[in-house]
């Protein structure tokens, strides 16, 4: 009986596992292989060169001029963006679910919380390309730029040279857009997690004299720890995969002067320069960067599960 059950389950798993192996695992393995060749991307005649491409990435000045700034920018986004998104999403979710006026010992969210969730979630229905074009129009340097128009209207000096052309702030502006487009999803995500917390726990804490701030840090945050951990990992992956937004928004697709370059952009540069093997090497670096992020995050945030 158990053998038949195992065969029945296996019959349903064969096709999806095979498709996953062909569509996901196989390209990864190919990238690992090509990263150790001198393949140009079009020439079928290539040879195995071992780890030479990886050595060039970090030692050859012509290669490192792209890679080193990109690593720094990805590291900055990896640290800053998830922290800000999670903090904002937790704050807004807490206000929408618990931040309303209390009636005795009963608590409730703010009025119109469902409407606010829809408004915050709206950026999620837009593609990355649309988001990039939209914010690119906002940061335009001429009089048609929305931000410059608003500043001129209220008498504040504009930036005629262009907001996205300033190497000191272009990466910050890209991160701002990433935060804007991500907060809504994680607000809804944390709201769903908060709605599963029994209201009796909040009511008991309020009867004990806990303030809203104390309730958040002593009750809500510990009970949402696993949700925060998951959000951190996914946001870290998003921070490492910022290429599409950078490509659409910034001048020179990573400029000016590589001041907003990310690892995905480096891969694109080498592929378009007929250096596909080097691009695959960058992809392998990005793969291990992401894998290390996940492993370290899971290890560092390991703790006993809080039951309620």
Residue 126 backbone phi and psi in degrees, to 5: -95, 140
Q: How far apart are CA 124 and CA 120, in angstroms?
A: 9
What pLDDT score was predicted for residue 54? 86
Give me the tens of pLDDT residue by residue for the chain, a chain 308 residues long: 566 666 767 777 888 888 888 888 898 888 889 888 888 877 778 888 888 888 887 777 667 777 888 888 988 998 899 999 999 999 888 888 776 555 555 566 666 777 778 888 888 888 888 888 888 888 877 666 778 778 777 777 666 667 888 888 889 999 999 999 999 899 989 988 888 877 777 777 777 777 777 778 887 888 888 888 889 888 888 888 888 888 888 887 787 888 888 888 888 888 888 888 888 888 888 888 888 887 887 776 666 565 55
Q: Which residues contact 132 (CB under 8 A, 6 or more apart)?
A: 177, 244, 245, 247, 248, 249
What pLDDT score was predicted for residue 307? 59
Can you give the pTM of this predicted structure?
A: 0.83
Domains and CATH numbers, the chain: 1-25 (no CATH), 35-132+173-300 (1.10.3720.10)
Both tokens assigned to 46: 């290539």
Q: How far apart are CA 110 and CA 117, in angstroms?
A: 11
Sign of CA dihedral 216, 219, 222, 226: negative
What pLDDT score was predicted for residue 110? 67
Q: How far apart are CA 93 and CA 263, in angstroms?
A: 32
Residue pair 263/240 in contact (Cβ under 8 Å)? The answer is yes
């Amino acid at each position: 009986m158990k053998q038949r059950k195992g065969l029945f389950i296996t019959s349903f798993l064969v096709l999806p596992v095979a498709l996953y192996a062909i569509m996901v695992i196989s390209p990864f393995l190919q990238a690992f292989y090509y990263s150790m060749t001198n393949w140009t991307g079009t020439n079928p005649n290539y040879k195995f060169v071992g780890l030479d491409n990886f050595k060039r990435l970090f030692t050859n000045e012509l290669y490192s001029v792209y890679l080193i700034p990109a690593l720094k920018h990805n590291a900055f986004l990896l640290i800053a963006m998830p922290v800000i998104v999670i903090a904002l999403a937790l704050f807004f979710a807490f206000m929408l679910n618990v931040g309303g006026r209390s009636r005795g010992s009963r608590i409730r969210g703010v009025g119109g919380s469902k409407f606010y969730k829809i408004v915050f979630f709206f950026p999620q229905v837009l593609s990355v390309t649309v988001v990039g074009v939209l914010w690119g129009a906002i940061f335009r340097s001429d009089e048609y730029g929305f931000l410059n128009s608003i500043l001129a209207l209220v008498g504040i000096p504009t930036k005629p040279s262009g907001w996205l052309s300033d190497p000191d702030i272009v990466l910050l502006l890209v991160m701002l857009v990433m935060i804007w487009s991500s907060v809504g999803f994680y607000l809804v995500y944390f709201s769903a997690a908060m709605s599963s917390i029994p209201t009796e726990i909040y009511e008991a804490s309020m009867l004990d004299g806990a303030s809203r701030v104390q309730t958040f840090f002593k009750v809500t945050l510990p009970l949402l720890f696993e949700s925060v951990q998951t959000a951190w990992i996914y946001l870290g992956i998003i921070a490492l995969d910022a290429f599409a937004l950078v490509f659409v928004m910034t001048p020179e697709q990573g400029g000016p002067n590589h001041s907003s370059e990310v690892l995905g952009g480096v891969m694109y540069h080498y592929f378009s320069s007929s250096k596909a093997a080097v691009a695959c090497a960058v992809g392998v670096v990005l793969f291990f960067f992401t894998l290390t992020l996940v492993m370290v995050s899971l290890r560092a945030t390991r703790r006993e599960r809080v039951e309620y």
